[in-house]
Structure 1
Amino acid sequence: MFLYKIDEQLSLKLTEVTDADRLFELTEKAREYLKEWLPWLDFTTDVEDTREFLKGTMKGYAESKSMTTVILYEGEIVGTAGFNSINWSNKTAYIGYWLGHEYQGKGIMTKVAKALTDYAFNHLKLNKVEIRAAEENKKSRGIPERLGFVKEGKIRQAEWLYDHYVDHVVYGILAEEWDKNKNLQK
């Protein structure tokens, strides 16, 4: 089992089907909050939907196409994060994440994104990591900005969120930039 310890309170664990109940519980608690920025809430209406999602993430990992983890904070699952996709030809990983509402504001996701970026460069030997966030999602955009990612541009109407499109801001960092900026990262 993949377990990546970030610090005394925080770890990343590869998803398992047995995580479904807790993830669905988190989804239910934060459904309206998460719906502002995530497009999949209407397709996750019961725990079986979460189980199917987890099966898909495990298949993606087995095929080396993605890597989804649950975030463990003080031993409890509080969200998910990982590489939504890995492009081995271009040596690029695309980070995605979400966190239960009550766990926000503790610096958890910044530490998680930093750990995933380190993992991409130091273990997977990739060249670039990207994070995309809705233009108006200031909290999510703050994560790559705090970590020294470069704002590379905007994709207009990149995502359909229930009844409207949102633009995405694309952030990226190269392995050589990450190594140079390590002392600046929080």
Structure 2
Amino acid sequence: MKTEPRAGRPRASSRETLAEAACELFLEQGYDATSVADITQRAGVSRSSFFNYFSSKGDVLWSGLDARIAEALAVLATLGADADGAAVRGVLLRVVHDFAPDPLALALRNATAMGLDDELMREAGVRQARLAAAIASAAMAVGISSVKAEILGAAHAAAVLSSLRVWAERGAGHGTPEGLLQEAMRGIYDLPWSD
């Protein structure tokens, strides 16, 4: 028996409509129990429409941050001799600048209710590793030893992902991810950006 989309939901396919449907279902029945078919049915769109916007149901949560990280990786790769601590921190601040509540923020805030604790930990680790490697490469490009560069990369990348998580868990009205990242990076300043 086919279930009709909820009354009032627009029939037009959009990233936001699909993300909203996915988050509703993750809250109602859990992440693992929700299929792409469930999401498209709730949103009232075809499966192919879903894949026009997302590569998987996990991509619903991460695509916004992934786009920001991809931009950061591209900029970090071009810094060359300009890769000092201030330049790298500026790139990282742009990752979280004006970060608005989105499916990832909702998932971070409601991870247990959505059955996402393990998924979020695993996927956050992937993104943290990508950022850490790019930051370490930027540091090595200016002559910082590989061990120190990897430590700098890991610390800065952890600051980015932790800032987003803490901001989402605190909820609206309790600061910004940018403010939290600035605070976190002040704790990293003791790791000088040189040998």
* Superposition TM-score, scaled by structure 2 size: 0.29
Relative contact order higher in (CA < 8 Å, ≥ 6 apart) = 2
> Considering only CA atoms, is the larger Rg found in Structure 1 or Structure 2?
2
> More helix per residue: 1 or 2?
2
> More strand per residue: 1 or 2?
1
